[in-house]
Structure 1
């Protein structure tokens, strides 16, 4: 199922997007494009920001949308399919030469998988309360050679992402990307203002990189 281009929230009209770096927001399970769009005031306004809606509907009575079925948490097939669908939307509906991703939870996993699938396509990833999907991809060696910047933030009291996936991510990420980020004491499966300040600093540094 494809992403719906009619429900994407953009920070600026189409006429103001040319020549500017694009930051795409990918929400978590049971949410929609309006959720992470609330972060826009905290993010550098040099980016054109697009907040997209995942294409799947969770089982009733869960509201919102999903990138892959929740029972596929930790499996690579669903995450890879979701990342492939997202890249197809990007190919069809954007022309930005510099693209970064910011995903929360499921959206974080999909963002990292998209980076793995096309290491040269994405400038960086911000992974909030997400994880790296287990399983090797043919493109992982190219990713490790390029080592793009990734910010990973998570809470010390986040009990949503299973510990084995966190442990896998802790081991896998430093070997494949230029990793930065923090574990925030007392934070659950959510985002704090302290974390947003760190994300903004990370994004400002990436803008500096793109300007070089």
Structure 2
């Protein structure tokens, strides 16, 4: 099987036969090394894999889809977003060839456009993804219309963090996702911070604490 996406791996720091898997998805214009810098802080039990978006935007600059401004309003390339979703699912199969992981215990953590992709695969394929971590992201309205309310979906563990001073993606996007999830019966862990479009130490600390708690409930 051909490698669907480029990636970096941090193996679990504790030996276990089928570790939980955490996928890290970077924001637009970045690459797999960005969020991978957080991997040493993440729970020891995890197999951590940081992925590179498939679309090259420049030297060491990648994305999951392009955003066009030809009309004056941001318009996303929905075909590219759909293809990136497929590549992420293909990647789970590919990873199985080289790394053992618990297929019922897959988590995805994304920042900005990576958070958008985390919502997309987690909410549209809830049987594949146990938990979603969305840092400074939003849920695409086009994808919301495709979400099917199932038992797998309603069991979803979701962590949302967003900066109130974010001028790239307004905090209103995060509040809207929270409201939508609660309306269908999912209670996400939701936190706002006095921060711009970035991940600060407080966000990371809260994320790690939440993740350790949720992983502990499983073990």
TM-score normalised by the chain length of structure 2:
0.82
Q: Does the Cα contact within 8 Å between 2:24 and 2:51 map onto a contact in 1? A: yes
Q: Any residues of structure 2 matched to 1:163-182 within 5 Å, and which?
A: 165-166=173-174, 168-176=176-184, 177-182=186-191
Q: Does the Cα contact within 8 Å between 1:99 and 1:122 map onto a contact in 2? A: yes
The CA RMSD over aligned residues, in Å, is 2.6
Q: Does the Cα contact within 8 Å between 1:79 and 1:133 map onto a contact in 2? A: no
Decide whether aligned partners of structure 1 residues 86 and 30 sit closer, same or farther in structure 2, where only a CA change above 3 A counts: same
Query: What displacement does 1:123 show?
Result: 1.2
Decide whether aligned partners of structure 1 residues 115 and 151 sit closer, same or farther in structure 2, where only a CA change above 3 A counts: same
Moved over 4 A (4+): 2-5, 72-76
Q: Which residue of 2 aligns with 1:159?
A: 167
Give ranges in structure 1 of 5+ residues lacking alignment: none
Q: Is 2:198 the partner of 1:190?
A: yes
Query: What displacement does 1:170 show?
Result: 3.6
Q: Distance in 2 between the 1:29 and 1:143 partners?
A: 32
Give ranges in structure 2 of 5+ residues lacking alignment: none
**SS at 1:121 equivalent:** coil
Q: Which residue of 1 aligns with 2:157?
A: 149
Q: Which residue of 2 aligns with 1:22?
A: 21
Query: What displacement does 1:8 show?
Result: 1.1
Q: Does the Cα contact within 8 Å between 1:116 and 1:137 map onto a contact in 2? A: no
Q: Does the Cα contact within 8 Å between 1:76 and 1:134 map onto a contact in 2? A: no
Q: Which residue of 2 aligns with 1:80?
A: 82
**SS at 2:127 equivalent:** coil
**SS at 1:57 equivalent:** strand
Q: Is 2:69 the partner of 1:90?
A: no
Moved more, 49-58 or 72-81: 72-81
Q: How many residues align?
A: 204
Q: Which residue of 2 aligns with 1:128?
A: 135
Query: What displacement does 1:165 show?
Result: 3.9
**SS at 1:122 equivalent:** coil
Q: Does the Cα contact within 8 Å between 2:168 and 2:197 map onto a contact in 1? A: yes
Query: What displacement does 1:122 show?
Result: 1.1
Q: Distance in 1 between the 2:174 and 2:197 partners?
A: 13
